[in-house]
Chains A and B, each alone.
Chain A
Amino acid sequence: MAEITVPAMSLVVLVGTSGSGKSTFAARAFEPFETLSSDVFRGLVSNDENDQSATAAAFEALRHVAGQRLRRGLLTVVDATNVQKDARASFVELARSNDVLPVAIVLDVAESVAVARNAERTDRDFPASVIRRQHDQLRRSLKFLGKEGFRRVHVLSSVDEIDQATIRREPLLNDLRTEHGPFDAIGDVHGCRSELESLLGELGYELTRDEQGRPVDAAHPEGRRAVFLGDLVDRGPDVVGVLRLAMGMVASGNALAVPGNHEHKLVRALQGKNVQTSHGLAETLTQLAGETPEFRRDVERFCHDLVSHLVLDDGKLVVCHAGLPEAYHGRASGRVRSFALYGDTTGETDEFGLPVRYPWANDYRGDAVVLYGHTPTPVAEWVNNTLCLDTGCVFGGALTALRYPEREIVSVPAEREWYAPVKPLQTPEQAALSQERPPGVLSVQDVLGRHIIETRHHGRIGVREENAAGALEVMSRFALDPNHLLYLPPTMSPPATSKLDDYLEHPAEAFAAFRRDGVESVIAEEKHMGSRAVVLLTRDPARFGAKPGWRGVVHTRTGRPFFDEATGAEFLRRIDTAVDGAGLWGELDTDWLLLDAELLPWSFKAGDLIRDQYASVGAAATTALPAAVAALEAAAASGVDVGELAERTRLRSDDAVKYVAAYRRYAAQSSGLDGVQLAPFQLLATEGRTHVDRPHEWHLDLADRLADADPVLFRRTRRTMVDLGSDDSVAAATAWWVDLTEAGGEGMVVKPAEGLRRTKNGLVQPGIKVRGREYLRIIYGPDYTRPENLRRLKDRGLGLKRSLALREYALGVEALDRVVAREPLWRIHEAVFAVLAMESEAVDPRL
């Protein structure tokens, strides 16, 4: 019984005449969706499986579907005769362009069998001559299949063989996803044996030496494994020693290795091919000449068998010599291998004659960590989840490793310059000075179109294409530099509509909502009559790619700066002084902090809105209504019965006066920074951690300490703790809200006392705003409290608002997580941008 092995990721091309049993074989040997049959596609495009005029269209559709499957890495089988070279060539090309291996399975049955089977079919009447022609073509093709590019060719040459053949799928050589480490990835060694010994020692490996004292293996007591990222050989003082140690470690399972371009060239040299011995190959060959032929053979085999890249730890880690874009991970093709060994060369050379390499990592957007070497850099620096660990040891730099998954960099300095670099190696200081790297360039493809963002607290959140399109304009035209825009606050939901006759919103529903979510203790915070403001304050401008002297920024909920540069700097200076005075810099052990706050008065930002919108409506109403009342009263005096209309108009006139009183509370005067106050209510993040999981009382205590330090600049937030299990506590908090709002306050925000809260049903609303009855007059109109109006206004849908509030909150927290984890800018920006995109969702703005 024949067992056919095919690579788990491959394009299997069946080759056989009509009637050779391909479809039957495929149906038995492969999964239903895996097989793409030309007959089926003929049917799909023409309604007739045998319509030969539809063949071209059918194959075009088949190739398209096959391409889509291969892009996803799915094994795909082509069920067509494929007896002609041209037909097969298009599938070899398709496999290559998707970097999977093409495999041919030939079903070579006797011509007579095929003719007989065709004759039995009623739906098809191929003349025997057609079968004969196909059979001839097949026979002539057989020996060329390998040359055509099929990496494996299996021939089943009888009906029995076909019936009994089974398929075994074998993982690709680079597929080590089941290996979870932990690993220590080591950059280009280039024959620096002594430094390698030191580095392994630093990493905690114990060396084994042979009787001559030469290291031949190294093991880690905790079972860690080293990963050599290629270029073990050439240039350095003891290439042989390095090979002996590395080969020993790989043989004993203490290390994995991928080949570098230098190993690639060494193999060819050892195979006797004519290669230039420049770039340090000569040194290797000289050193090897002193070894035994067995050792040289071992070296040749070792280097030859190395797999160009390895996918480890469930696909979360990819290692290779010169880097690898996401589309090539886990794939096998010539160009994948070439990229892994040589990188993305542009074909040009620089002034030192070295190939110019395209900075592929700048475009990398994958989730997998990619560790590589190849290009000497002064210091190992993360770029979009990739890290180059070649720090030029042989040129007098350092030998560097990364502990994975800890992401800890371990480095030992070179003992000397072993080999003069063609291009002078920059010192870390020089590199820091030159700062040539583009400061966080973002691609429009990072944000445009439909996007899914994985969040820690709320799963996968989708951003709709049209919302992204709207947000792009706001972000580009009005928002801050994305390097400085680390967070946008979420929208906040009001409570369910009140059941009380006179109220649209009331604390009872907010408390009930949290009780339903299983929250026992909430905090009710005064809602300030200001604008939401996010404050980034830093003593380390370089952390955010800014110039020396930059202190940070204060921005709105849509990412616009509140102040011009000079005013903002002064405002931040005062905050810094207060943070210093409160002793927070040291206590929080940070150089920067991000505050969520309210900036007062509202008129500072919304002055135009108050004048053009609210005051304008107030002026019209308080002019027209008294005039109408006067006219109605005159009519009544002259004996016309206008009673009901007159009464109604008088009430509306009173409402207009209340409306004017409501907006006037927001029209405080401020000039420059005089009169501008900040009421912080949450410390979002500092270096190394976010604080959203801390109790709100902790945050407000910090805010109080700032207010102690500068009572003019900072405003305290009044609050009360509420025990939802106690009727007295709830009644007291309700009375507190009534007092607050009847005295002209805007309302309060109720939050779970402990901060970010999850239950088995998911994330709990971070806050519910309960707005005062008079404040809502500004929002819903002067006579919204008239019973006939309130009754209708109570019909309001909150579902979308609540859902947006949760999603935006999760995205905001996600952005903060990414900031403190020092993730690449595009990852942070993606989450921040998504919050802005959500805000362009059409929700009733009065909510």
Chain B
Amino acid sequence: MLATITYTGPDATDLGFLLHKHPGRLQSFDLAVGRAHVFYPEQTDETCTAALMLEVDAIDLVRSKRFSGGDSSELGHYVNDRPYASSSMLAGALAQVFRTAMTGRCDACPELAASPLPLTITLAAVPSRGEPGLASRLFEPLGWTVVDAAVPLDPEFPEWGDSRYSDLTLTGTLRLADALHQLYVMLPVLDDSKHYWVGDDEIGKLLRAGEGWLPAHPERELITRRYLAHQRGLVRDATAQLEVLDGSPVREGLDDAEIATPLRVHRAEAVLTALRDVGAHRVADVGCGPGALLTHLLADSAFTDIIGTDVSHRALDVAERRLHIRDLSDRQRDRIRLLQSSVTYQDDRLAHLDAIVLMEVVEHIELERLDALESSIFGSAAPGAVIVTTPNSDYNALYPSLPAGRFRHPDHRFEWSRVDFAAWADRVAASHGYSVEYRPVGDADETHGSPTQLALFRKA
């Protein structure tokens, strides 16, 4: 919430003209996000420093619906860094307070406004997400020298390491208007967060602020993605427009064959094959998530009754939207039902089915609760067939980025080797009157097997 801009040169106080703010007094502005103040800590003939300070009312921030971005029930929402960190709020204040300066217009000193000037910019407590050194990657290609002083999380607990804040000092010779535009774009990009809803008009803002420097910036993609808050549609549109500005040819989509088929595609195919092998018509995808498999099931009229269940009602909402269930014809809609359910509870609505699919589900259940899953699926629902897929931990050795002993997903409670999986599946099959067959899923390695393993249980 504090930025200073220092101009070193003859008649340094001309900075006041360039910024359209008088160096002799404190000037305050009421903005939507809070109260901004401009004052000059230093004003000599050689050096002039302007400071922009933003006071954010923490209580107003919490009460106002405008800023309630994330999950409002979290305590984190109430005490947060926004009143202190130099983030998108400061960027917004900058754009409003120095609106005229950003246009490059200065009636008093037009040549100065049009010329690169020796500038030093300091920013206090800039939050940054992701890899260290990002500030340098963003600012150095634009001609800045960057000093990035990391702030420790708590000096009393050195073992906690650095916080995600830095004090940044940028030194370079640039046009003042360009410098302001760059700050305006880069602060939210560093933070990877915005305090307001990102809509279509953000593309226009980005293109205008990035004029002259963004199209050729080596980190253009990251800047665009983060500035547009990762909204894929917006990012795609902006990228296309930037490519035109850059003069680079619009990239064609890659030939499908060139991309290795992702594992999830293999997995869905393997499950569908298994379902067809057992001649299933009435099926449930238990733990359907946002409905990836359901889309395939719905596309095949052989599946006359389809149930998707998930323990998360939010996931079911997403599935309902993705499958466009409300827009389906009555006949199609009658084929599918989405139900909130849980594999650790018995559910009568899953009785008498031809097959139940547990695709990448078991590894999300604590090992000690697997007997409840076994009892509800194999004991109570007892369908004609059960298809279980789960990662093969033997194969993890082939993922270079996965440290030994770590799981593929943070929510995995365990990952089974082929031996572990077979031990479980054989016992379950035996005690519930099923036979079991194992199938590899994905490209199999000679030693480590396939990345995913599948067990097909058939009722004896």
User: Range of interface residues on chain B?
Assistant: 35 or more
Asked whether A472 lies within 8 Å of B342 as measured between CB atoms, the reply is yes
The answer to whether the Cβ of A444 comes within 8 Å of any Cβ in the partner chain is yes
Asked whether B165 lies within 8 Å of A623 as measured between CB atoms, the reply is yes
Looking at chain A's contact residues, the main secondary structure is helix
Task: Give B40-59 interface residues, CB cut-off 8 Å to A.
Answer: 40-43, 51, 53, 55, 58-59
A463-485 vs B, Cβ < 8 Å mask (1 yes, 0 no)? 00010011011011100010000
Task: Give A578-630 interface residues, CB cut-off 8 Å to B.
Answer: 611, 613-621, 623-625, 627-628, 630
The answer to whether the Cβ of A842 comes within 8 Å of any Cβ in the partner chain is yes
Asked whether A845 lies within 8 Å of B78 as measured between CB atoms, the reply is yes
Residue of A nearest to B309 (CB): A444
B362-380 vs A, Cβ < 8 Å mask (1 yes, 0 no)? 0010001101100110011
The answer to whether the Cβ of B325 comes within 8 Å of any Cβ in the partner chain is no
Contact of B81 (CB < 8 Å), options: A472, A616, A627, A780: A616
Contact of A623 (CB < 8 Å), options: B24, B59, B83, B151: B151
Asked whether B346 lies within 8 Å of A442 as measured between CB atoms, the reply is yes
Given A624-B124, A627-B2, also A616-B163 (CB < 8 A) = yes
Task: Give B328-376 interface residues, CB cut-off 8 Å to A.
Answer: 340-348, 364, 368-369, 371-372, 375-376
Task: Give B419-449 interface residues, CB cut-off 8 Å to A.
Answer: none
Segment of A136-144, A445-453, A516-524 engaged in the interface with chain B: A445-453
Residue of B nearest to A619 (CB): B163
By a CB distance below 8 angstroms, the chain A residues around B42 are: 634, 638
The answer to whether the Cβ of B299 comes within 8 Å of any Cβ in the partner chain is no
Asked whether B153 lies within 8 Å of A615 as measured between CB atoms, the reply is yes
Task: Give B2-16 interface residues, CB cut-off 8 Å to A.
Answer: 2, 4
Asked whether A638 lies within 8 Å of B43 as measured between CB atoms, the reply is yes
Pick from B28, B79, B346, B347 the residue with the most CB of A within 10 Å: B79
The answer to whether the Cβ of A439 comes within 8 Å of any Cβ in the partner chain is yes
B25-69 vs A, Cβ < 8 Å mask (1 yes, 0 no)? 110100000000101111100000001010100110000000000
B residues adjacent to A (C-beta < 8 A): 1-2, 4, 24-26, 28, 37, 39-43, 51, 53, 55, 58-59, 72-76, 78-81, 83-86, 122, 124-125, 127, 151-154, 156-157, 160, 163-165, 167, 311-313, 340-348, 364, 368-369, 371-372, 375-376, 379-380
Segment of A43-51, A77-85, A640-648 engaged in the interface with chain B: A640-648
Asked whether B73 lies within 8 Å of A667 as measured between CB atoms, the reply is no
By a CB distance below 8 angstroms, the chain A residues around B342 are: 444, 472-473, 475-476
By a CB distance below 8 angstroms, the chain B residues around A780 are: 78-79
CB distance from A783 to the nearest CB of B (A): 7
CB distance from B286 to the nearest CB of A (A): 12
Asked whether A640 lies within 8 Å of B84 as measured between CB atoms, the reply is no
CB distance from A613 to the nearest CB of B (A): 5
Looking at chain B's contact residues, the main secondary structure is mixed
CB distance from A825 to the nearest CB of B (A): 11
Asked whether A631 lies within 8 Å of B51 as measured between CB atoms, the reply is yes
Given A624-B125, A793-B59, also A476-B154 (CB < 8 A) = no
CB distance from B359 to the nearest CB of A (A): 17
The answer to whether the Cβ of A789 comes within 8 Å of any Cβ in the partner chain is yes
Contact of B84 (CB < 8 Å), options: A448, A625, A648, A842: A625
CB distance from B51 to the nearest CB of A (A): 5
Given A631-B41, A660-B154, A846-B75, also A443-B311 (CB < 8 A) = no
CB distance from B94 to the nearest CB of A (A): 15
Given contacts A446-B345, A621-B83, 19 further A-B contacts (CB under 8 A): A444-B346, A445-B348, A473-B313, A615-B157, A615-B163, A616-B165, A620-B151, A624-B125, A631-B2, A634-B42, A635-B26, A635-B51, A645-B37, A648-B55, A660-B154, A667-B157, A779-B75, A789-B58, A845-B74
Asked whether B24 lies within 8 Å of A640 as measured between CB atoms, the reply is yes
The answer to whether the Cβ of A441 comes within 8 Å of any Cβ in the partner chain is yes
By a CB distance below 8 angstroms, the chain A residues around B51 are: 631, 635
Asked whether A481 lies within 8 Å of B369 as measured between CB atoms, the reply is yes
By a CB distance below 8 angstroms, the chain B residues around A447 are: 345
A-B pairs with the 9 shortest C-beta distances?
A634-B41, A619-B163, A444-B345, A476-B342, A620-B84, A624-B125, A627-B124, A620-B81, A623-B125
By a CB distance below 8 angstroms, the chain B residues around A466 are: 313
Residue of A nearest to B159 (CB): A669
Q: How far is the CA of A445 from the CA of B74 in the complex (A)?
A: 29
By a CB distance below 8 angstroms, the chain A residues around B154 are: 615, 618-619, 660, 664, 667
The answer to whether the Cβ of A15 comes within 8 Å of any Cβ in the partner chain is no
Asked whether A624 lies within 8 Å of B86 as measured between CB atoms, the reply is yes
Given A476-B342, A638-B40, A781-B58, also A664-B156 (CB < 8 A) = yes
Q: How far is the CA of A621 from the CA of B153 in the complex (A)?
A: 11
Residue of A nearest to B72 (CB): A842
Q: How far is the CA of A756 from the CA of B393 in the complex (A)?
A: 52
A residues adjacent to B (C-beta < 8 A): 438-439, 441-448, 466, 469-470, 472-473, 475-477, 481, 611, 613-621, 623-625, 627-628, 630-632, 634-635, 638-642, 645, 648-649, 656, 660, 664, 667, 778-784, 789, 792-793, 842, 845-846
Contact of B2 (CB < 8 Å), options: A624, A656, A846: A624
Given A624-B1, A792-B59, also A640-B26 (CB < 8 A) = yes
Given A627-B2, A635-B51, A781-B79, also A616-B157 (CB < 8 A) = no
Pick from B41, B51, B160, B341 the residue with the most CB of A within 10 Å: B41
Asked whether B78 lies within 8 Å of A616 as measured between CB atoms, the reply is no
Q: How far is the CA of A631 from the CA of B53 in the complex (A)?
A: 10
By a CB distance below 8 angstroms, the chain A residues around B376 are: 441
Asked whether B79 lies within 8 Å of A628 as measured between CB atoms, the reply is no
By a CB distance below 8 angstroms, the chain A residues around B368 are: 481
By a CB distance below 8 angstroms, the chain B residues around A620 are: 81, 84-85, 125, 127, 151, 163, 165
Asked whether B73 lies within 8 Å of A842 as measured between CB atoms, the reply is yes
Given A441-B380, A444-B346, also A789-B84 (CB < 8 A) = no
By a CB distance below 8 angstroms, the chain B residues around A481 are: 368-369, 372
Asked whether B1 lies within 8 Å of A628 as measured between CB atoms, the reply is yes
Residue of B nearest to A659 (CB): B79
11 examples of A-B residue contacts, CB within 8 angstroms: A476-B311, A476-B345, A616-B163, A616-B164, A624-B85, A625-B84, A631-B39, A632-B41, A638-B40, A846-B75, A846-B78
Asked whether B79 lies within 8 Å of A614 as measured between CB atoms, the reply is yes
Asked whether A441 lies within 8 Å of B40 as measured between CB atoms, the reply is no
By a CB distance below 8 angstroms, the chain A residues around B369 are: 481
Asked whether B379 lies within 8 Å of A438 as measured between CB atoms, the reply is yes
Contact of A638 (CB < 8 Å), options: B37, B41, B364: B41
Asked whether B345 lies within 8 Å of A439 as measured between CB atoms, the reply is no
Q: How far is the CA of A477 from the CA of B55 in the complex (A)?
A: 42
Q: How far is the CA of A614 from the CA of B344 in the complex (A)?
A: 36
By a CB distance below 8 angstroms, the chain B residues around A793 are: 59
Asked whether A621 lies within 8 Å of B311 as measured between CB atoms, the reply is no
